[in-house]
Amino acid sequence: MKRDVGEISENNCPRCDNAPESVMHVLRDCEEVAEFWTSIIRPEHWERFFSLGFHAWVDWSLTKDEIGHTPWKWSIFFGVAANALW
């Protein structure tokens, strides 16, 4: 996480300050990040998207192009978005 490499000094999420910073919180579970994801993920996929563990979540998100409603291939969009959120 960013604090481990000296980029931040607090233990809480720098976006919401409501939860400890973790990989899943930063990439998916933070309220602000979840709002972003729900704006582009098809509602029928919300439950699964927000309930999978890290490895299953990444695998599922990179192999199911019907998850989101974007003009780009979902797997590419997901990778770019996750990198930007990090």
Quickly list H helices, 6-73.
Answer: 23-24, 31-40, 46-49, 54-63
Which pLDDT value is given to residue 20? 78
Domain with 60 in it? 2-85
| Among 25, 7, 24, 8, residue whose Cα is nearest residue 16 | 25
**Average per-residue pLDDT for the chain:** 86
Domain count, the chain: 1
- The reply to whether the predicted model has a pTM over 0.85 is no
Q: What are phi and psi of 49, to 5 degrees?
A: -55, -40
The yes-or-no verdict on residue 82 having pLDDT over 90 is: yes
What number of helices (H) and strands (E) belong to the chain?
Answer: 5, 0
The yes-or-no verdict on residue 2 having pLDDT over 80 is: no
